[in-house]
Homo-oligomer: A and B are copies of this chain.
Amino acid sequence: MRNIKLLVEYDGTNYAGWQRQKNVMTIQEKIETAIEKITGEKTQITGSSRTDTGVHAKGYTGNFYTNSKISVEKFTGAINSKLPLDIVILHCFEVPCEFHSRYNCTGKMYSYTILNRYEAVAVGRNYIYHHKRILDVEAMKEASKYFMGTHDFSAFKNLGSSVKTSVRTITRLDIIKNEDIIKIYIAADGFLYNMVRIIVGALVRVGEGKIKPNEIKDIILSKERAKAGKSVPPGGLCLEEVFY
């Protein structure tokens, strides 16, 4: 039995997220069906995480077992030939039998893209969150420091997944403004459910002047979800990389 690791890019606009569900189309189902067409075997992919409806990925990872003799080089093109244009296998890797794309994951990096201008947007609208009111990026950068490091992020977690602990370590939180695009990169050893979108929502409230940068500290300490405020929409979110 071979264990194949997949590196996947997808446009999540038209899918109900990664994980297979009844009555809605998901990315997992599309790729499993494509692999089954190639290998003739019933296939189940172990994904590195769930992603929500409308969230994108440039570096999603998963793995599956197969008896197929197709070389790892040929697998990529073969699976892609059975996939729609909004899902692409970037690479297939031959990995040891014990490799597990979720358990072996040591961290992840996401990006979140805000278009910060008054006018609405047509080009690229599915990949950005359009925020009309001009944000104070310096205040957002100041606030980002309070997220860095190890904290109990209970205030930045929605219900929906069972996890043993809400303690996570954020290793990177960069906010880069380029003309009217604000790009936020956030890396951690793991993320709670909706954590990135709730953190970005709080940063946006700082940028609007509704809360002060140093209030982030108190919101974290409160462990109360309500204090963190609204999360931002899924389209701006992209899973950039899964670390092993």
Q: Which residues of A are at the interface with B, using a C-beta cutoff of 8 A?
A: 9-11, 56-58, 80, 85-88, 90-91, 119-125, 127, 238
Contact = CB atoms under 8 A, between A and B. Distances in A.
Contacts of A91: 119
**Complex copy number for this chain:** 2
Contact of A125 (B57, B86, B90, B125): B86
B10 A123 contact: yes
A85 B125 contact: yes
B122 A85 contact: yes
A9 B120 CA distance: 9
Main secondary structure of the interface of A (DSSP, over half): mixed
A87 B56 CA distance: 22
5 contacts: A9-B122, A11-B123, A87-B122, A88-B121, A124-B127
Given A58-B123, A85-B125, 14 more contacts: A9-B119, A9-B120, A9-B121, A11-B122, A11-B123, A11-B125, A80-B120, A85-B122, A88-B119, A88-B121, A90-B119, A123-B127, A123-B238, A124-B124
Contact of A9 (B87, B90, B123, B127): B123
From A57, A80, A88, name the one whose CB has the most chain B CB atoms within 10 angstroms: A88
A85 B123 CA distance: 10
Contacts of A88: 119-122
A91 B120 CA distance: 10
Nearest to A91: B119
Nearest to A9: B122
Contacts of A90: 119-120
Contacts of A124: 11, 124, 127
A119 B91 CA distance: 8
Contacts of A86: 122, 125
A58 B180 CA distance: 13
A238 B10 CA distance: 23
A235 B120 CA distance: 21
Contacts of A80: 120
A14 to B, nearest CB: 11
Nearest to A87: B122
A56 to B, nearest CB: 5
Q: Which of A85, A120, A122 has the most CB of B within 10 A?
A: A122
